[in-house]
Amino acid sequence: MSSISIAREHRVSFHVRQASIDDVDLIAPMFDAYRRFYGQRTDVEGARAFIRDRLQRWESVVLLALSADATASPALGFAQLYPSFSSVAMRRTWILNDLFVAESARRRGVARELLGAARRFARESRAVRLELTTTRSNHAAQRLYETHGYQMVTDFIAYSMEP
């Protein structure tokens, strides 16, 4: 995946690229903050181990937004995609499972660029679909997703259980 450089209003300049195992320490604090948003207790070491394992085992793809400003915090946000498959289409799908932007970088185009990078990655990997879910109460995210062409699926009912 190619790297993208973006200059946005408010003098935020950043690029998005696919993360490698060398980026675990940049991703882990953001992943921990993402989990805290969903009511989990902080666990940066657990976050680091989880992200490291996903990347080492090629079980996910992480797209990383990095500041071009050497004086700022380098990591601005990330999107994590998990692979799946469509049996009907007999092709890969990607699940955009995690999307997070650091509070200091919000409303500056980082989420939009991460979503765009995820879409390009899905196209480049010849996926039939890119899917995501969000909570019913996360209206800001729903608006963002819809402006990027995501459509709410109402044809199916989802079920879940703890094994």
pLDDT digits (tens, 9 = 90+) for 7-36: 444 456 899 999 999 999 999 999 999 999
pLDDT tens figures, 120-162: 999 999 999 999 998 888 898 889 899 988 988 888 888 888 8
Task: Inform me whether the pLDDT recorded for 6 exceeds 50.
Answer: no
Whether 79 shows a pLDDT value over 90: the answer reads yes
| In the chain, domain spans | 4-147
What is the arithmetic mean of pLDDT over 80-106?
95
C-beta neighbour count of 45 within 10 angstroms = 10
8 A C-beta contact, residue 76 and residue 110: yes
Above 60 in pLDDT, residue 101?
A: yes
Q: Which CATH superfamily is domain 4-147 in?
A: Gcn5-related N-acetyltransferase (GNAT) (3.40.630.30)
Distances (CA, A) of 88 to 50, 59, 79, 101, 128: 31, 22, 26, 34, 10
